[in-house]
């Protein structure tokens, strides 16, 4: 078992990575302070794992909230469903929420935990590759709004993260590939050696070699933990983790949440960010092509939706959370393994690549 620690002083917590982790009941129970637990999951993941999880939590009073699956369900309406359940069932501040599912479940459960009675404990059990390497770590919690993705939320850290690699065995190929966009992101933004490792291990990753997957997930979590520990609320370096996301969030909002998976939008967003860097003479074309090749190796899109151009993108980009004083800010790759935040992108250059 790999155990990482996200160092945030009194809010520090462990990240456990292993096969068969959900069967280690004593480890999970050690992070639950009281006797009441509410599991939040969705109608795809719950039938696979929730009964086995509840069977391990016999020392606790356990109930659950089961939401529909999909990015469109990360909404204020479903946030209210969770709140109503907790209130109706008289949950107190001693309740621990468990997020059992992918990024949508993790985000909305964390936001509910941050808000219910001004803050209760929650634990992340991510079951998708994307949530395991990215969204379950770092304490970003939120719901979507029709006008913007993740615009309503809070920074709120879990008590622990349990990453069971075995859960990837039930993940559809499209969802797995979408998670690989976030894996590739770590290599592009700050670790050339890791990018090269991914290139060298494509076949092992695609065949779900457990040792390779464990190594890959641990590397991503360590990278994110290091960045979050130095910039928890994204006032500086943490913004680099949004490589490709300015374009991606625009795609998701314009197309309707769920039409493009988040990772698919991020893949295209990273390519657009790289094209922007090439247009600004900050990145070699050969580096762009190498990024595209690796992204395409996992059947991810590299071209924006045909019905989106400059007008559609800019409308959503103006609401981006990274913007300061009205200036658009972009994460730009300047080489494989290097990136920077820029607010000097001209409208003409942006229009050129879009």
Catalytic residues: 118, 140, 182, 224, 234, 238, 242, 245, 249, 262
Q: SS3 for 226-260, per residue? A: HHHHHCCCCCCHHHHHHCCHHHHHHHHHHHCECCE
Q: CA 150, 117, 54, 108: dihedral to nearest 10 degrees?
A: -10
CA–CA separation, 66 and 157 (whole Å): 22
- Rounded (10°) angle between helices 262-279 and 173-190: 30
DSSP string for 114-174: HHGGG--EEEEEE-SHHIIIIITSS-EEEEEETTEEEEEEEE---S-EEEEGGGGGGS-HH
Tokens 């314009």 -> residue: 254
CA–CA separation, 94 and 119 (whole Å): 10
Percentages helix, strand, coil for the chain, rounded to the nearest 5? 50, 20, 30
Burial of 336 (0-12, 13-18, 19+ CB in 10 A): buried
Contact call for residues 118 and 196 (beta carbons, < 8 A): no
């Amino acid at each position: 078992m790999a155990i990482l620690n996200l160092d945030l002083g009194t809010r520090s917590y462990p990240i456990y990575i292993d096969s068969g982790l959900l069967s280690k009941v004593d480890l999970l129970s050690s992070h639950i302070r009281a006797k009441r637990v509410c599991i939040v999951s969705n109608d795809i993941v719950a039938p696979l794992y929730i009964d086995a999880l509840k069977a391990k939590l016999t020392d606790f009073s356990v109930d659950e909230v089961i939401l529909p699956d999909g990015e469109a369900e990360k909404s204020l309406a479903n946030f209210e469903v969770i709140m109503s359940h907790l209130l109706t069932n008289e949950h107190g501040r001693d309740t621990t929420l468990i997020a059992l599912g992918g990024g949508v479940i993790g985000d909305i459960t964390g936001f509910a935990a941050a808000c219910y009675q001004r803050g209760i404990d929650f634990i992340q059990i991510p079951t998708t590759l994307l949530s395991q390497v990215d969204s379950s770590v770092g304490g970003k919690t939120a719901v979507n709004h029709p006008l913007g993705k993740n615009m309503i939320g809070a920074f709120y850290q879990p008590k622990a993260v349990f990453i069971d690699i075995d859960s990837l065995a039930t993940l559809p190929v499209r969802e797995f590939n979408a998670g690989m966009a976030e894996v590739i992101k770590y290599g592009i933004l700050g670790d050339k050696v890791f990018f090269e490792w991914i290139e060298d291990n494509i076949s092992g990753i695609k065949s779900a070699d457990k040792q390779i997957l464990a190594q890959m997930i641990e590397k991503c979590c360590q990278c994110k933990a290091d960045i979050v520990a130095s910039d928890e609320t994204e006032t500086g370096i943490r913004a680099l983790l949004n490589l490709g996301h300015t374009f991606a969030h625009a795609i998701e909002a314009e197309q309707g949440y769920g039409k493009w998976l988040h990772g698919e939008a991020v893949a295209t967003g990273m390519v657009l960010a790289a094209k922007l860097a090439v247009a600004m003479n900050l990145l070699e074309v050969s580096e762009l092509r190498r990024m595209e090749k690796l992204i395409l190796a996992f059947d991810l899109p590299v071209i924006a939706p045909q019905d989106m151009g400059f007008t559609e993108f800019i409308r959503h980009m103006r609401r981006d959370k990274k913007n300061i004083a009205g200036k658009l800010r972009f994460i730009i790759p300047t080489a494989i393994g290097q990136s920077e935040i820029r607010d000097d992108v001209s409208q003409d250059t942006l229009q050129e690549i879009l």
